[in-house]
Structure formats: C-alpha cells, structure tokens
Amino acid sequence: MAESSADETGGENIPRFEPNYLNSQVIHVESFRKLWLDALPPDLYSYETNPEEVEDAKLAELLELPIETLNELKDICSVNSLRSHPDDSPVDQNVVPSDPKLACLRLRKRRQDYRETLVRDTIGRHENYSNELESAHKGLLPEDPTSVIPEGEIILSFNIIYPVIFDRFKHVRAHQTLQVLGSQKLTELRDAICCVGDLQVFGEFSNIPDATPQYISKDHFKSAFFYFEGVFYNDMRYPECRDISETIREWAKTHGFPEYKTAKMEDTTFYELRMKIGYPYYYCHQGDCEHVMVLTDIRLIHPDDCRDRTLYPLLTHKHRVITRKCCVCHLYISRWITTNDRLAPMDPCLFCDKCFRMFHYDAKGNKLYDFQAYVYVDPGVFN
C-alpha cells in the first residue's frame, strides 16, 4: 500500500478503543511494532532470560543497594510469602477448600458439588482438544536455524468464521484461529485457511462412481480476496486468477459508496496493512464462499510462542464441527450425497462410500435405478 508510510510517528498508531468500546481505531501494523520496539529495552522482548544473579546485580545497582540488602528484599518478596498453607501441611489443590470465603471459591464449590451429583463427567472434551493445539507449539525451535523468527517480530491473530450455511447454526459462530507473522504475505494466510468450499468436486457421478476426478475446486477456481479498510486484496498469483472484487466495486460505485482500492495479496505483507483490531473484515473465495474475519490481537512475539517460521500461519483454535454420518450405517462419515433417489429415506440423502455402493449398484457395479449422485465433502474433515 502506497500511503502506508513507515515514518509515521505519534499517537495515531497506538491502539485505542473507538467510542463503541468494541474495536480499535485503524492502526498501521509496522508502525505499531516500531512504537513497541522503541519503547522497550531489547532485554524485555528477547527470547533469552538473564541468569538471576545478573538481574539481581543490575537491580542492586539501579537501586543503589548493597547486594545483602537486596537479598533481604528478595526474601520478603519471595513467592513463599503468598502461601497461606505452610509447606508441612500440604492441601489438595484439586478440591475447593471447605467453607470458602472468596466469592470465586463459593461459586466453584457450588459447581463442584453439582458435578459430584452427575454420573458421568461430560464437561468440555473438545475444548481440551482445542487447547492442545495452542500449547503444542509452545516455544518450539526449528531444526533449521535460519527459520528462527527474529525477536521483536509481530504476531497477528485472526478469527476466521465459517460461513453460515444452515440457518439453525447461525448462533454458533464457529471459527478457526490462525496466528500469522507480520512479515508474511497475505497469500500465506489465504493458503492456510481451511474451508470445505475449497474441497468440492463438481459433477454428477452416479454412472461412474469410480471416476471421480482428483481435482477439487481449489484447483479450478483460484481467485480470492481479502477486504481490509477500503482495499480489496486479490490473489493474482496464477494466470487464471481474476479480480473477483470487481463486481462489488462496480456495484458500490453506482450506489454512492466511496471508491474502493485494489492491491495484490501476494505483494502485501501484514506489516503494510492498516486495520482495526476487533473489527469484522472479509475473506471471499470460490466466488461466493464468504467468511467474516476478525483481527483479534496484535502483539510482539514472546518466548512462549512457536519460533519456527515455517510453521506459520499457525492454527491455534479450531471449532469441532459435528460430522454428518451415513444415513444407513450411522457410523461412517458421509462421502456421497444423492438426489431424486426414490429408495432413499430423504432427499438429498447422505451415504458413506460402502453403503452408497451396496445400496445403488449390483455386484458388478451396475447402477440399479435412476438417481443423481454428487461427491460430498463433510465440514468435519478438518477435525
């Protein structure tokens, strides 16, 4: 983006709430990073932690204290000062203490007592799973030292919300969270977003069920765009890519909207963007598969973060989608969807591969009656 000058100073890139207290004002990502790096001594954002003695000596010097006095201070402020139970009387930290005074504990105790009345603990298995994703890469170092992300890099977190396909699911707002580096190209994020829309196979295959092509829609329709702050960023990497934002821009022109700009996704890094944190933006691919996306967080990389550049964009949260099972066996994930299928219990109807073939074809593979069959890609394939 031409107008994003890196020499911007002053408060305009310090993120603050807009008056709605829901999202920040527009900030320029690179300038934001620069403001943090200028404000912090490198020690504070480096991956390394100085040995305690070094830090103690530094502090003693700063405070003009003899090291003995500092040691007394350390003693007073030690973590032991926060233990209400002496070391020789250990308590079970997994249980809420009886007769708690703290409001949080009273609430947790009510829950604990309730949980004990349940036969089966059904709480939050899939949520555990989503958390594993986040901690799996904690502090991970790459084998190839050239892939180490430099200190002071920016990590942006995006929530990409699945399109609302079924009206009854519209309150769920299922999403995936991806962390991306400031220095990465927009196309790197685009390639990391998994959506079943990219995996569709086009065509009717009831006569040739063994001949489903290997090509999926991602291979056929490569155009896509992000929309951030008045700019459509188009994926133009391949000759067959088209500017699919054109229709929208043309429409907007005739409806009194300010003129929108375009830029190339593959030419733009996240550092160059101007965006609001917490504000809904847009990702569109396959012509009409539309995802709301929200930049939820921007921050400096921390020693906790995965430091292997090649693993970004990093998936840190994924909503587990309920998979749709075959209507015959109710066991396997559906692979086929049929219509005008007079022997099927519903229209359209879902089948796993095995049941589909047993139900619709004889032993030699001949079609038994007339129906249409399409390849079904379950949204749960990413689970």
Say what angle helices 67-76 and 52-63 make with each other, to 10 degrees.
110
Least distance between Zn ion and beta carbon 90 (Å)? 52
Stretch that binds other proteins, among 208-216, 291-299, 345-353, 355-363 (CB under 8 A): 291-299
Least distance between other proteins and beta carbon 323 (Å)? 22
Q: Which of the listed partners (other proteins, Zn ion, none) does 355 bind, with a CB threshold of 5 to 8 Å by partner kind? A: Zn ion
Is residue 71 a contact residue for other proteins (CB under 8 A)? no
Q: What's phi and psi for 37, nearest 5 deg?
A: -65, -35
Q: H or E element: which one contains 314?
A: strand 314-318
Q: Which of the listed partners (other proteins, Zn ion, none) does 197 bind, with a CB threshold of 5 to 8 Å by partner kind? A: Zn ion
The tokens describing 296, both together, are: 């939820």
Is residue 120 a contact residue for other proteins (CB under 8 A)? no
Instruction: Give the span between the Cα atoms of 303 and 290, in whole angstroms.
Output: 35
Residue owning tokens 């249980």: 95
Least distance between other proteins and beta carbon 245 (Å)? 22
Instruction: Give the span between the Cα atoms of 81 and 91, in whole angstroms.
Output: 17
Contact 277, 27 (CB under 8 A): yes
Mask: binding to Zn ion, 181-220, rule CB under 5 A, as x and -? --------------x-x-----------------------
Contact 167, 309 (CB under 8 A): no
Mask: binding to other proteins, 138-177, rule CB under 8 A, as x and -? x------------------x-x-----------x-x----
Least distance between Zn ion and beta carbon 225 (Å)? 12
Stretch that binds other proteins, among 93-101, 199-207, 248-256, 355-363 (CB under 8 A): 93-101
Rounded alpha-carbon distances, angstroms, from residue 103 to 96, 302, 373? 12, 33, 59
Instruction: Give the span between the Cα atoms of 162 and 136, in whole angstroms.
Output: 24
Q: Which of the listed partners (Zn ion, other proteins, none) does 148 bind, with a CB threshold of 5 to 8 Å by partner kind? A: none
Q: Which of the listed partners (other proteins, Zn ion, none) does 14 bind, with a CB threshold of 5 to 8 Å by partner kind? A: other proteins
Q: Which of the listed partners (Zn ion, other proteins, none) does 195 bind, with a CB threshold of 5 to 8 Å by partner kind? A: Zn ion
Measured between its terminal Cα atoms, the distance across the chain in Å is 36
> Which 271-290 residues touch Zn ion, going by CB under 5 A?
289
Instruction: Give the span between the Cα atoms of 270 and 183, in whole angstroms.
Output: 6
